[in-house]
Amino acid sequence: MTGKRTWTLIGADGRPYESTLPGTLGGHRRTKIYGRLDCPGAARAIARGGYVSHRVFFADEATAIAAGYRPCAVCMRDAYRAWKGGDGG
């Protein structure tokens, strides 16, 4: 089989698209939270089960925000505090 590998990412419009580059951030479609791919909170949720079916990926933070997601309080504390203190929370 030939061809480039692709990843499904979520765009700023909230719709999925195919990318030749993997996402840099992960998110949860139902809670509208995004964070680092190595987030301990997401890892715990994945271990409990059920989380993976709602997992989405973003190219960058600006795209996640534009799609209506907020930063994770566990792995992105500074961004979360800024969001919480601003218009988001």
Domains and CATH numbers, the chain: 7-85 (3.40.10)
pLDDT at 72: 97
Q: What is the pLDDT along the chain (89 residues), one digit of tens a residue?
A: 457 899 999 999 999 999 999 999 999 999 999 999 999 999 998 899 878 889 999 999 999 999 999 999 999 999 999 999 975 55
pTM of the shown model: 0.85
pLDDT at 88: 55
pLDDT at 49: 84
* Measured distance CA(80)–CA(13) in Å, rounded: 21
